[in-house]
Structure 1
Amino acid sequence: MQIKYWIIGLVALLSVSSCGKENAAKKDDVKAVPVLTIKEKDTLVSNQFVADIQAKKNIEIHSRMSGIMQHVYAHEGQFVKRGQLLFKISDAELQIDLLKANATLKQAQADVRIAEVEVSQLQSLFNKNFVAKNELDMMKAKLSAAQARRSYADAERKAVLQKVSFTNITAPFDGVIDVIPFKDGSLVENGSLLTTLSYLDQIYAYFSIPENLYFELQKNDKLNNSNKIELVLPNGAKYDFNGVLKTAEGEIDQATGSIRYKVEFPNADRLIKHGTSGKLVISDFQPKSIIIPQKATFSIQDKVYVFVVDAANKVKMKNITIANTLRDSYMVESGLKTGDRIVLEGTQALRDGQTIRVKK
């Protein structure tokens, strides 16, 4: 009888031990994962764009006359003022042509004066009926011919003077001189490139955005003069001044499917040169934003999901809408609110409805 009770007790003990092991095994099956509680915070969202930097004005200065370069008054890299003499092409032959033109004009002016006197005399005689009308008409025609020759001679003189003026090349605006290929004594052809002049007190940084992004930014008014626009120079340093956004081009580039904007920067010390490369950092202040790490999300058929953790520590898949992509985070437009809890990492090993333990 004692043996029977001993066996029953042993069986009960083994049963209790087995239940304890099963409960422990079930507890071990509950995954411990880190959980993030959603909070709103003010955020500065920044986007980077490759920039093509150009001077506000940049023109090529070409010769409009052929001849010998008499003197180069400017030097490469020099800052020059508007109207300052830069180059002088020899005008010795033109000065001779000018003397001839002056002489021809004086002769034509004299011929007009003589014809005017003769017309006046004939007019007096005609009034007294001493000459016929056809004689007076003939002299008036000679006067008209003399006046036409005078006008032609004056035009010829002005043409020579204009050619002489072309031998003096001056700066059309304040700016910095680029490379000068010609030296004193060089033969210059009509149309030769003498140098390039850049107005560098202000510069434009051009950048392009895809047309889909353009319409998205226009829809949400996210690209305007309230943005903070910084310029990152080729050495990685940020430029001292912020820029001002200017009007975009009027059409989409069909070849690239993008539209071009420009940002104006002051450049009083002329540090930045025409043709410099750089990056634009355009920042937009977003108050009360929800930011979550990208590692807390997963995608199914082009939709982004997170696992929301309820009060019983069960996870549920929830679709969210992304407003902006940051370096390693997402700005959430909809789908989450303050106080929600989401699985921070390890989403690949979870399934919808699974119970978890919050990892401390």
Structure 2
Amino acid sequence: MEALTMTTMIVERNPTQQALNTMHFNTIEKVKATHKTAYAILALAAIVLLSACSETTAAPDEDVRPQHRVLVTEVQAQTLELERSFAARTEGNMVAEVRARVGGVLESRDFDEGQFVEAGTIMFSIEKAPYEVDLQKAQAELTSAEAVFNEARRDWARVENLFVDGAISARERDQTQSRLEAAEADVQSAQASYEDVKLRYDYTEIVAPIDGVASRESVSVGNLISENDTLATIVSLDPIYVHFNVNESDIAAGYLLRNTDISGENEKGSGPAARLRFSDGREHPETGYIDYVSRVVDRERGTIEARAVIPNPNMDLLPGQFVRVQLPQIEMPYAITVPQRAIIQSGRQAVVYIVDNQDIVQVREVTLGVRVGNEQLIEQGLASGDRVIIEGLSMLQPGTQVNVEIAE
């Protein structure tokens, strides 16, 4: 009976537990459904986001993408008249050092320092007394030698006649002839010694070797000087020389080489004209000419040396001045120039960017000439009709298609 009762109780409790289990199961199922819905929403959002990112990073339409804008100029060959000038330094056409040719005490200075002197003008005098003594001694030795020679000559005249008459032997005749010849040689030696002493005596007066302006004295009067000491310097100033260097690749180098003669047949002054300009802008009134152009290129600097001869009658041009040599206008046909800003240089290499017929950027290596104002002469690398980029070079890459605007 008790067992039946327990079974009945258990059976009675089972409906309640079953209801609870059912409710718990339904709740779990609802939560799972809710999670599935959330996951579906998140997945959908991710798909939409990825789609949006994909669309954003996809390649844009070429027609919509903005192109790089560049400003170009179309180059044309033309005839140019180029003015070329070069830094230069003046120099006297002759520079002579006044040197002592004998030693002694300097007795006098016979010129005004810094003044013009003519060739042959006495500039210094050296004490003459020692040289006068030597000169007198040499004169006496010469006179003695001449006396001996005259005696030997008279003896020879007598002996020669006696030998013809058979009065003396051939031996005696030969001895007399030998004495005559020795006496003649002694005279010549004494004469040479006298001339040497006389020359040294004359050197006690030191004269100007050339026409020109004298410097200040290097040694004062009263000093004992030695042979070959420098006493002063003379510079010839009219005309004056002007030395300058031209780069071997400069158009002026070819012009000078073509127009200066090396045969020696042309007249003096027939070279290209040359004018001088001072640092303050003034021009020297006299026109000179180019008389020398080196045919050897300096290996270190890549230049050739040239020289202009400039008249200087007023001697207002002085040696050592810095000036500029102005050459005549040089005509250059079929010349191409581009603005300076179009050129990109790296070391010795220079390039420009051009745009072809399809508006594609290309690079051209060019050979630079001289500057012409704000333009640069291009010797090689460009032809008439090339479109050269002058603006918009920043971040520009070869092969890029660009939006071209022609410079006016």
- Tell me whether the two structures share a fold, i.e. TM-score over 0.5: yes
1:325 pairs with 2:375:
no
Identity %: 23
Q: TM-score, normalised by structure 2?
A: 0.67
Task: Give the match for residue 276 of structure 1.
Answer: 321
Distance in 1 (CA, whole Å) between partners of 2:87 and 2:73 is: 35
Task: Give the match for residue 13 of structure 2.
Answer: none
Please report how far the alpha carbon of residue 65 of structure 1 lies from its aligned counterpart in structure 2 after TM superposition: 0.3
Task: Give the match for residue 193 of structure 2.
Answer: 156
Going from structure 1 to structure 2, the CA distance change for 1:349 and 1:116 (only over 3 Å counts) comes to closer
Task: Give the match for residue 132 of structure 2.
Answer: 95
Distance in 1 (CA, whole Å) between partners of 2:273 and 2:66 is: 51
Unaligned runs of 5+ in 2: 1-62, 260-270
Going from structure 1 to structure 2, the CA distance change for 1:120 and 1:228 (only over 3 Å counts) comes to closer
1:14-46, CA deviations, whole angstroms, 9 ceiling, x for partnerless residues?
A: xxxxxxxxxxxx999577766546466553434
Pairwise mapping of residues 295-306 of structure 1 onto structure 2 (< 5 A)? 295-298=341-344, 302-306=349-353
Going from structure 1 to structure 2, the CA distance change for 1:29 and 1:68 (only over 3 Å counts) comes to same
1:43 pairs with 2:80:
yes
Please report how far the alpha carbon of residue 98 of structure 1 lies from its aligned counterpart in structure 2 after TM superposition: 1.4
Corresponding residue to 1:74 among 111, 116, 121? 111
- Runs of 4+ in structure 1 deviating by more than 6 angstroms, as ranges, are 30-33
Task: Give the match for residue 384 of structure 2.
Answer: 337
Distance in 1 (CA, whole Å) between partners of 2:296 and 2:354 is: 43
1:109-158, CA deviations, whole angstroms, 9 ceiling, x for partnerless residues?
A: 12222222222223333333434443333333322232222222111111
Moved more, 156-165 or 168-177: 168-177
Distance in 1 (CA, whole Å) between partners of 2:346 and 2:295 is: 39
Task: Give the match for residue 402 of structure 2.
Answer: 354
Going from structure 1 to structure 2, the CA distance change for 1:357 and 1:46 (only over 3 Å counts) comes to closer
Please report how far the alpha carbon of residue 292 of structure 1 lies from its aligned counterpart in structure 2 after TM superposition: 2.4
Task: Give the match for residue 20 of structure 1.
Answer: none
Please report how far the alpha carbon of residue 253 of structure 1 lies from its aligned counterpart in structure 2 after TM superposition: 4.2
> RMSD value over aligned CA atoms?
3.7
Residue 116 of structure 1 aligns to a residue whose secondary structure is helix
Instruction: Decide whether the 8 Å contact of 1:206 with 1:262 is kept in 2.
Output: yes
Distance in 2 (CA, whole Å) between partners of 1:141 and 1:222 is: 68
Instruction: Decide whether the 8 Å contact of 2:352 with 2:389 is kept in 1.
Output: no
Distance in 2 (CA, whole Å) between partners of 1:30 and 1:227 is: 54
Task: Give the match for residue 230 of structure 2.
Answer: 193
Task: Give the match for residue 45 of structure 2.
Answer: none
Instruction: Decide whether the 8 Å contact of 1:56 with 1:202 is kept in 2.
Output: yes
Task: Give the match for residue 15 of structure 1.
Answer: none
Task: Give the match for residue 205 of structure 1.
Answer: 242
Distance in 1 (CA, whole Å) between partners of 2:240 and 2:144 is: 55
Distance in 1 (CA, whole Å) between partners of 2:140 and 2:96 is: 39
Going from structure 1 to structure 2, the CA distance change for 1:248 and 1:356 (only over 3 Å counts) comes to closer
Instruction: Decide whether the 8 Å contact of 1:35 with 1:359 is kept in 2.
Output: yes
Instruction: Decide whether the 8 Å contact of 1:60 with 1:195 is kept in 2.
Output: yes
1:184 pairs with 2:221:
yes
Unaligned runs of 5+ in 1: 1-25
Paired positions, count = 329
Task: Give the match for residue 32 of structure 2.
Answer: none
Please report how far the alpha carbon of residue 209 of structure 1 lies from its aligned counterpart in structure 2 after TM superposition: 4.3
Task: Give the match for residue 231 of structure 1.
Answer: 276
Residue 282 of structure 2 aligns to a residue whose secondary structure is coil
Going from structure 1 to structure 2, the CA distance change for 1:40 and 1:132 (only over 3 Å counts) comes to closer
Going from structure 1 to structure 2, the CA distance change for 1:162 and 1:227 (only over 3 Å counts) comes to closer
Moved more, 272-281 or 108-117: 272-281
Instruction: Decide whether the 8 Å contact of 2:343 with 2:350 is kept in 1.
Output: no
Task: Give the match for residue 16 of structure 2.
Answer: none
Residue 194 of structure 2 aligns to a residue whose secondary structure is helix
Please report how far the alpha carbon of residue 88 of structure 1 lies from its aligned counterpart in structure 2 after TM superposition: 2.1
Residue 111 of structure 2 aligns to a residue whose secondary structure is coil
Instruction: Decide whether the 8 Å contact of 2:249 with 2:369 is kept in 1.
Output: no
Going from structure 1 to structure 2, the CA distance change for 1:129 and 1:266 (only over 3 Å counts) comes to same
Please report how far the alpha carbon of residue 175 of structure 1 lies from its aligned counterpart in structure 2 after TM superposition: 1.6
Please report how far the alpha carbon of residue 203 of structure 1 lies from its aligned counterpart in structure 2 after TM superposition: 2.4
Task: Give the match for residue 116 of structure 1.
Answer: 153
Instruction: Decide whether the 8 Å contact of 1:232 with 1:278 is kept in 2.
Output: yes
Distance in 2 (CA, whole Å) between partners of 1:55 and 1:63 is: 22
Distance in 1 (CA, whole Å) between partners of 2:346 and 2:200 is: 75
Task: Give the match for residue 4 of structure 1.
Answer: none
Distance in 2 (CA, whole Å) between partners of 1:171 and 1:79 is: 10
Task: Give the match for residue 12 of structure 1.
Answer: none
Distance in 1 (CA, whole Å) between partners of 2:405 and 2:322 is: 52
Residue 285 of structure 2 aligns to a residue whose secondary structure is coil
